[in-house]
Structure 1
């Protein structure tokens, strides 16, 4: 373990140098001051790991210096060890009231000094490590929130570009997340499912408007191009590390249980679970929404359609779960 940075404040040169020599044996970096005021200036400059204060010093004694340390935002968390020739209860209480973390009496026992300093600096390092970890966790959470807010913005832009009904991406995402929770998926997987659902059609950004917005049926040649959008999604998202685990839906949500889907022609449980879950939500929302060429379909008709293509389009084991979920929502 690397040595600590320690300020030793004592107006007696012999005592000051003796303490410094004891602590230097353990690899600590020692900085010395002759009074409390000098100690405060030095501490603000180097921000030490520990401050040792003699009580009786000119200009500013150790107790007053300790009070200043505790009221200084830069130094308030630095441990302070008070050193005094007095060993009575009142002196100890005065030191504690001033904000000291520990108390030593003169003459200094070198072993006791080194052990106490080692204990205090170790605890202070642990506290700093814990605080740094909390700061990192806070920063990580803020970064994840920023990522998710950005993804949500992308999904809204995708809905507009694809001329989907307003809120399509959010609805299919919410539906998929509810089903994932009903199936007992852990939150660590649901977070990726949520991101993938929001970005399920991001690959359509690579599809020409003439094909994407064509009012009539697509030609076989146009279908070849349209079916590339999951591949585009994979190519764009795979290099992004935090989105790589969310690729199952953008890449595989057009796969079908019987293997007749695209782009890979996956069948059965070879289709990722997230994509099998999402397929229900995507079909449900499409059929329940108004389109330029038709009105939304009644709930019972949509349920019937989903039941009819269970085992061909949908995972037959998941179909009753999805339909039960719609009963709960209704």
Structure 2
């Protein structure tokens, strides 16, 4: 059963409270009453009404001051306040608006007008509250999803001890690079999820290949190169992850078209994947692997520079090199616990 809207009626005169109540009682509101400013504030804090009908001319604390104090309470800041007043001059209305009133009803009021105002305002407030609750629920659900994704990412890293921490590191650097390219925050959020899950397809690669201590042979490489497609098959049924699929599916594509799985070239490769590709190579080459030691940072930077227009998008390379020169990349690495890198040459 739908809960009736809760209306707090404030007037220092009993007759004034009764007249407003009689105008509204047929509409099924839950009505509460207060006779002065202090009582209004205490009751409003207790019940959090859907609307306050506030008389202006009250002793000790008038409606203007009461309204200001109600607005100063964070819990009541968005509760609609309608001032009911015999003051009909412009200065009084301005004073009311400055105090935080949302609307005015002039005394003596027309019953039908009061009912219409109250009906409209309570419906709008209920709708706003519902939207706020749904937004909060959506945010909580998104946090839960993201926590699950991070769990998947850690599980993959733990499966391959030699690359432990790789997913976390490349995610932070990818977000840094995406932000430096002035991408919208919503897009960066999807990029972060895609970076976390970039290697999720390797869950389908046999351990004998994934953890082989030496170079892979041709047949093993053929199997290894299926991991982007495996990632797509795993993630694509999940609607929440649809905007994040570019990195898991396309992060091994190359600017010159020599990559896999689809041989895309240039700007046909999604920007998120082009951004991630540089970070992925940087992290792979500056960290030890079972079959080789990490390379010095200076050598890796020179390699990345040489691959501009071949493996990597030239524009993204320039931004990456600028961040490296400005020390931003190093700062991100330090904040993430550092890399197991060899010293720069």
Calculate the TM-score normalised by the size of structure 2: 0.69
- SS of structure 2 residue aligned to 1:317: helix
CA–CA distance in 2 between the matches of 1:320 and 1:68? 62
Given that 1:50 and 1:79 are in contact with CA atoms closer than 8 Å, whether structure 2 keeps it comes out as no
Tell me the alpha carbon deviations over residues 266-325 of structure 1, each in whole angstroms, 9 at most, x when there is no partner.
111111111111010001001111222332111111111112222221122322221222
Q: 1:148, 1:266 → 2: CA distance?
A: 29
Cα distance change on mapping 1:264 and 1:6 into 2, 3 Å: closer
Alpha-carbon deviations, 1:56-82, whole Å to 9, x = none? xxxxxx859xx6996488844154769
Q: Render the CA deviation track for 1:219-243: whole Å, top value 9, x for unaligned.
A: 3222221111100111111111111
1:201 aligns with 2:199: yes
Residue number in structure 1 paired with 2:275? 277
Inter-partner Cα distance in structure 1 for 2:296 and 2:323: 17
Answer whether contact 1:256 1:267 (CA < 8 A) is retained. Answer: yes
Contact 1:248 1:274 in 2 (8 A): yes
Matched, 1:252 2:250: yes
CA contact (8 A) 2:278 2:312 kept: yes
* Alignment-derived partner of residue 147 in structure 2: 149
Runs in 1 of length 4+ with deviation above 4 angstroms?
A: 4-7, 67-70, 72-76, 78-83, 99-105
The answer to whether the Cα contact below 8 Å between 2:215 and 2:291 also exists between their aligned partners in 1 is: no
**Using the alignment, how far apart are the partners of 1:315 and 1:6 within structure 2?**
59
**Distance (whole Å) between structure 1 residues aligned to residue 6 and residue 130 of structure 2:** 21
Q: Which residue of 2 aligns with 1:37?
A: none
Kindly tell me: are residues 113 and 274 of structure 1, through their superposed partners in 2, closer, same or farther at Cα, counting changes over 3 Å?
same
1:295 aligns with 2:289: no
1:27-72 CA-partner distances (Å, limit 9, x unpaired) = x545xxxxxxxxxxxxxxxxx3556x7xxxxxxxx859xx699648
Q: Report the alpha carbon displacement of residue 110 of structure 1 after superposing the two structures with TM.
A: 11
Larger CA Rg, structure 1 vs 2: 1
Report the number of matched residues: 285
TM-score normalized by the length of structure 1: 0.72
After superposition, the CA RMSD in angstroms is: 3.9
2:214 and 2:291 in contact (8 A); partners too: no
Match of 1:77 among 45, 49, 66: 49
Q: What's 1:236 paired with?
A: 234
With over 3 angstroms needed to count, the CA separation of the structure-2 counterparts of 1:237 and 1:117, relative to structure 1, is: same
Question: Which runs of 5 or more structure 1 residues have no equivalent in the other structure?
Answer: 8-15, 31-47, 54-61
